[in-house]
Structure 1
């Protein structure tokens, strides 16, 4: 049902301001030191993500972080989702492997997989219209490689009005375009896990304003866990060509881009554990940091496809994604303060998700085997088309003031078609050498239950739905002296057309009588209002209030009728934030106080439950950078007080949302000594609860990634890196009944050589 929004007020934002001002003044530079201010947080960098005007971080009333290519390479991250763990305010559970990560911001709940409230973009357009498609999350179709110039991450702010389905924030991976001539060739080898990978990129001028960039990677290996099989296989190729032009009446650029991704990586699921007095305990023979149950004993799975025929799948394919995309982009200065921006991309996305999910924990580890449900999900069609057209007019306003009026139209069409058929298998309690057995414990290759009957036959499904979203938006920005103000509005209108189908357990085929029509419309108007005031060149205060929505796609299917006869539930966030930005004496600091209220409806696959909850989270987000001599330090911390305010399960009201720690932090020190550079990235989390009832505690942890670089000559660098250097056992999630939990992968070591040219 549609719920009445609770709007933040200006008074709420003002209530946060005194503490923010006191913090800012406490760090204010002494007279005469402004020119010595460091800019480790790149506060003079122009923000292009979630901003109505192109201005610097220092002038924007936004909480935005950026990482350049060098920072990305030194993070020790092995996936795009793991990169985000280094960003303050972002909660990224990267324990699922290369994709299928859970991502949110600032205490906004993670009640479903994926990134419901955070949109992941590539060059300013979404990878998928929805971030929480079951088994088809946006990060699966993204690979951060040598093509990436930088990463921008916006928390809160105008993300709700300048993009769709992104009230929590925006994550934008920005590609190189050949504006700087040169390239690189990198070779990486696993030292404790079989891995061979090659990365390459090159960009250059074509003369007369033209440039190009081409790059990608190819790899083969067993993945981050000791699987003994080549489960990583594939790569990516990206290319773009840009033409800039300068005329009397018209100037700007046009760009054509291409992308081809075909990659297989292992999908990492929770493993059987036990819980005693609220504490998670491992089971003998199963290490959550390394266990992987897709062994040669479970090499083939027979499933039922959308066309009504059985098909055999190679279980070693794991997460197999295919994506081809073509894009067009232009930015034109039309004269008299008028500018036009156009972004277009058409993508063809498909693949398969295969992973084993424990259905029990072998009677608390006392039995010889456990039963696992093999999530064999065909990503039949996740194709999409996106277009974002924006017209801006800048003009004089007031005594020395300047205003920019922006009008835009976003159009998106997203297909969501999947087929689920989940057989069940019995497997022995051996983390990396599990054997398939029958009910008596004898070796077999057969399933103990076919997908028709798994979990009561709930999840043999096939659907094909097309979602069309049209979103006009407008913004007004005004600047005069030290003051910047902005207001933006967005109207999201979505239509859904398609069908759902369920399996017939008795007849073991698709049940034509079960077909349900999907045909509905839903709409929402969002807003964002912000102000930024510069007290000096190196100190600024800002505040913002915003409201936004995230529409759901497949999470609504197989529940209430979706034929337009009943209201459609939406997921809504109201936010206020106030903060300060300061730099000086080798230090730069970003501090933001925030409050977020969330109202959502959700369906969770593994529990088969529909929920409707309200949440509230308040906290403090800190980001800092410091440099002195050869030493550099980037740091971040987020303090969060979050509670469930209302729920259809009254027993969880007043409890902490699942997996939400009160305190998380990031530290990235680095020191250069001649041709040698030593560095690390520490990611820490306080304890949290694994369930909304707060009965299972996930302990605090610190994960350390480290690297050593040696500059052999001006163009050649040797590197050693370790991910999870101290092999920390870091749980990121546990099932509500405590039978299975997922943890970050244990220690992995790599060596690489990089040639620049």
Structure 2
């Protein structure tokens, strides 16, 4: 049965669906013209990050789009896995539903999140900053039936039509009830545990009012074996649109998200060979593609809470994102001007837990490393609780013990308010059309989070059976408490509390003159930020304090582990009080050589305010809250790009050559490991689609060469290639539609890259394949089989080590292994 299923899913591995922008056709003036004139070629209308939606062939920008219907054919997938299939984007997924890493054009991924790319939902940012520590923007976004289209713009005018987005924009556009009807879909994992219900419905309430409502609910263990239901929750989205007879409209949006999903970390991996040609493979008893250190035998997360009181927090929290948002959008014409107003308030919060590795070794070596020669180990949880672990034993087939830090971030308040008001007018001039746009953007972003930690000794047991381990010294004195090595991150680092508010005001404007075959345009934006707040941290400033001793288990004895208890020193707060301002600008020219072909060129400069990446570093004066150097407040990005666009007879081909320079302030593992660098990258982006009868295919290829042009803190890294930067990213999405039966694949390849910035250890490239096979039993009933990572590829996204370790023991984050699901969908 399993072999038959595998062959069934492998059959369509050469076919799938194109990523096309929303198409429009110019309607003929009357029925006679309709009968006699040939059909006009479809216009790919793009609206994200530009002054006014227009045909892509008339716009000097690099853009891509993916329709929601094409997304859903491949089954329920995390947003990061969807975006991996879009041309030009570099996505390091494998972390889970959220907190994945996103960038474009060689812009650095020194830490996580999407620093230079802003995520939007219906044209407004989800969070003002895309790389907040432990809470990336994508934790508040979900891929479901409510998504009508995803649009991305790389470079170009993104820096002037949104704040903090010099690299580009990713915009999820919701369905708004244009199409009457709805759908209900039941999905289940066939080789993993997940049950999911998706629904959507839209249509007219009356002649001038339409609505759309949709969402999902799911529950199950998920794609990795963790031993409990790590996926629990869902979301509901609703919008209502009132259209006016004069062509204007007003739309109201509501969204409620309450969803949990696990966070997957780098896990133990066997690394052998040489730095240039290493071999990565799973240890016996722990499959890097299917297993996780998460287990029902771990936890709870015992630590001091945000008030320094003893707390036991659930290990199964994962990424528990909660968001309640209300927004509205309106557009109307006044005296020849088109006025567009968008506003949204989102109450964002939740708890976010993850376990990340510190060290691993054989039983004897691990025990000796913590408690000296003669130290011993025993189980502290699970079915073998209390049993000793012999020093030379190959427990779980691998004989390994590990120290994991468990981070528990409480996001008390990440509330976000944004308002974007703009006015546009098209002026008819004798030689052409002049489009002018002016706008004002206002936003607030709260950052009220607390970072809590504990440290656990665990074994390396797959199948959701990881257990905690005690270590005793040679005299038999326990050095741990029920498997806890420390009630901190083994030091006082990262015991932090943030209470900071960001306010952004950004006036902007653009002008575009379209005459004959030429369109020339430019835009300006000035971002002004006001940052106020307070920090409390065990690692704040000089003379750091934050470690204490406390009788955690209340047995009257302070053990070694209980001398490593981190607390928040509220008597030593640090101030945050500074303002910033910077100019963004972009200018481009587009030449429509012929109806199906255009060329363009653009120069852009934008910046990204540095948000929490400068907090808890020496850049900020803890007494006054000031940042002395203006260049430390925001990181600039300059892009030069030029290319062509072709569209005719069912074929599109877009190509862009680019050169990018960027600055980056970041923090990797605390203030002692911060970065302050400049980067340069150049490359080529190619994207094409073809439609021939029942067959269609989208292909994308991105070539990028990047280097660190200046490292201000570690000169030895100047001239090196940034870590995790493949030379090539390749995408192919073919599809075959035979009416009742359709099939397709999503094929993504990345070439090798360096594990760390010292350019020693190479991570191998890999290819993952997603696939679907769909059968329409009736016009309303569809059965679908989906597979992700069809060939169960061991794809490495991240490696902690900078060189092949002498003992062959390392840590790596990998793509999830093969998962196969089935779904039944009913349309009405």
TM-score by length of 1: 0.91
1:685 is the counterpart of 2:741? no
**SS, match of residue 156 in structure 2:** coil
For residues 632 and 445 of structure 1, the distance between their equivalents in structure 2, rounded to whole angstroms, comes to: 60
For residues 445 and 176 of structure 1, the distance between their equivalents in structure 2, rounded to whole angstroms, comes to: 53
Corresponding residue for 1:267? Answer: 263
CA contact (8 A) 2:460 2:466 kept: yes
Corresponding residue for 1:137? Answer: 136
CA contact (8 A) 2:584 2:606 kept: yes
Corresponding residue for 2:20? Answer: none
Question: What does residue range 512-531 of structure 1 map to in structure 2 within 5 Å?
Answer: 512-531=570-589
**SS, match of residue 222 in structure 1:** strand
The alpha-carbon deviation at position 259 of structure 1 amounts to 0.3
Deviations 1:455-504 (A, max 9, x none): 43111111110011111111111111211111000101111111111232
Question: What does residue range 467-546 of structure 1 map to in structure 2 within 5 Å?
Answer: 467-503=502-538, 504-506=546-548, 509-546=567-604
Change (3 A) 1:140 1:565: closer
Deviations 1:675-698 (A, max 9, x none): 111110001011111111111111
Deviations 1:106-134 (A, max 9, x none): 11111110000000000000000000001
Corresponding residue for 1:19? Answer: none
1:244 is the counterpart of 2:243? yes
The alpha-carbon deviation at position 434 of structure 1 amounts to 1.1
- Counterpart selection for 1:567 from 623, 629, 653: 629
Corresponding residue for 2:796? Answer: 731
CA contact (8 A) 1:733 1:743 kept: yes
Change (3 A) 1:37 1:559: farther
Deviations 1:224-282 (A, max 9, x none): 112232110000000011101024xxx40001110000000011111123544222534
For residues 519 and 542 of structure 1, the distance between their equivalents in structure 2, rounded to whole angstroms, comes to: 43
For residues 508 and 181 of structure 2, the distance between their equivalents in structure 1, rounded to whole angstroms, comes to: 39
For residues 158 and 694 of structure 1, the distance between their equivalents in structure 2, rounded to whole angstroms, comes to: 34
Deviations 1:342-395 (A, max 9, x none): 000001111111111010132699863110001111112111111001011221
For residues 449 and 500 of structure 1, the distance between their equivalents in structure 2, rounded to whole angstroms, comes to: 27
CA contact (8 A) 1:420 1:462 kept: yes
The alpha-carbon deviation at position 506 of structure 1 amounts to 2.5
The alpha-carbon deviation at position 591 of structure 1 amounts to 0.6
CA contact (8 A) 2:457 2:485 kept: no
Corresponding residue for 1:118? Answer: 117
Change (3 A) 1:263 1:38: farther
**SS, match of residue 84 in structure 2:** helix
CA contact (8 A) 1:117 1:165 kept: yes
Corresponding residue for 2:675? Answer: 611
For residues 330 and 310 of structure 1, the distance between their equivalents in structure 2, rounded to whole angstroms, comes to: 50
The alpha-carbon deviation at position 440 of structure 1 amounts to 4.2
Corresponding residue for 1:21? Answer: none
Corresponding residue for 1:323? Answer: 323
Question: What does residue range 633-652 of structure 1 map to in structure 2 within 5 Å?
Answer: 633-647=697-711, 648-652=713-717
Question: What does residue range 569-718 of structure 1 map to in structure 2 within 5 Å?
Answer: 569=632, 570-605=634-669, 609-647=673-711, 648-718=713-783
For residues 229 and 404 of structure 1, the distance between their equivalents in structure 2, rounded to whole angstroms, comes to: 57
How many residues of Structure 1 are paired with residues of Structure 2 in the alignment? 714
For residues 38 and 681 of structure 1, the distance between their equivalents in structure 2, rounded to whole angstroms, comes to: 30
CA contact (8 A) 2:616 2:671 kept: no
CA contact (8 A) 1:273 1:361 kept: no
The alpha-carbon deviation at position 305 of structure 1 amounts to 2.5
Q: CA RMSD in A?
A: 2.0
For residues 37 and 103 of structure 1, the distance between their equivalents in structure 2, rounded to whole angstroms, comes to: 39
CA contact (8 A) 1:375 1:420 kept: yes
The alpha-carbon deviation at position 185 of structure 1 amounts to 0.5
CA contact (8 A) 1:37 1:587 kept: no
- Counterpart selection for 1:745 from 770, 795, 816: 816
- Counterpart selection for 1:253 from 249, 254, 259: 249
CA contact (8 A) 2:597 2:647 kept: yes
For residues 68 and 93 of structure 2, the distance between their equivalents in structure 1, rounded to whole angstroms, comes to: 20
The alpha-carbon deviation at position 451 of structure 1 amounts to 3.8
Corresponding residue for 1:23? Answer: none
Which stretch shows the higher mean deviation, 284-293 or 164-173? 284-293
For residues 232 and 186 of structure 1, the distance between their equivalents in structure 2, rounded to whole angstroms, comes to: 18
For residues 224 and 618 of structure 1, the distance between their equivalents in structure 2, rounded to whole angstroms, comes to: 37
CA contact (8 A) 2:455 2:490 kept: no
Corresponding residue for 2:156? Answer: 157
The alpha-carbon deviation at position 585 of structure 1 amounts to 4.1
Moved over 6 A (4+): 35-39, 441-445
Corresponding residue for 1:369? Answer: 401
The alpha-carbon deviation at position 75 of structure 1 amounts to 4.2
The alpha-carbon deviation at position 172 of structure 1 amounts to 0.3
For residues 443 and 187 of structure 1, the distance between their equivalents in structure 2, rounded to whole angstroms, comes to: 50
Change (3 A) 1:333 1:445: farther
Corresponding residue for 1:64? Answer: 63
CA contact (8 A) 1:274 1:361 kept: no
The alpha-carbon deviation at position 37 of structure 1 amounts to 10
The alpha-carbon deviation at position 674 of structure 1 amounts to 4.3
Question: What does residue range 319-398 of structure 1 map to in structure 2 within 5 Å?
Answer: 319-336=319-336, 338-362=337-361, 368-397=400-429
Deviations 1:566-623 (A, max 9, x none): 1251211100100111123432101111111111111113795111111111111010
Change (3 A) 1:405 1:381: same
For residues 270 and 159 of structure 2, the distance between their equivalents in structure 1, rounded to whole angstroms, comes to: 41
The alpha-carbon deviation at position 57 of structure 1 amounts to 1.0
Residue segments in structure 2 that go unaligned for 5+ positions in a row: 1-36, 367-397, 539-545, 550-565, 804-809
CA contact (8 A) 2:77 2:143 kept: no
The alpha-carbon deviation at position 94 of structure 1 amounts to 1.4
For residues 230 and 708 of structure 1, the distance between their equivalents in structure 2, rounded to whole angstroms, comes to: 28
Deviations 1:271-323 (A, max 9, x none): 12354422253433322212211211114112322233233211112110100
For residues 486 and 421 of structure 2, the distance between their equivalents in structure 1, rounded to whole angstroms, comes to: 49
Residue segments in structure 1 that go unaligned for 5+ positions in a row: 1-34
For residues 37 and 268 of structure 1, the distance between their equivalents in structure 2, rounded to whole angstroms, comes to: 51
Corresponding residue for 1:555? Answer: 613
For residues 460 and 84 of structure 1, the distance between their equivalents in structure 2, rounded to whole angstroms, comes to: 33
CA contact (8 A) 2:357 2:405 kept: yes
Change (3 A) 1:541 1:253: same
For residues 403 and 772 of structure 2, the distance between their equivalents in structure 1, rounded to whole angstroms, comes to: 40
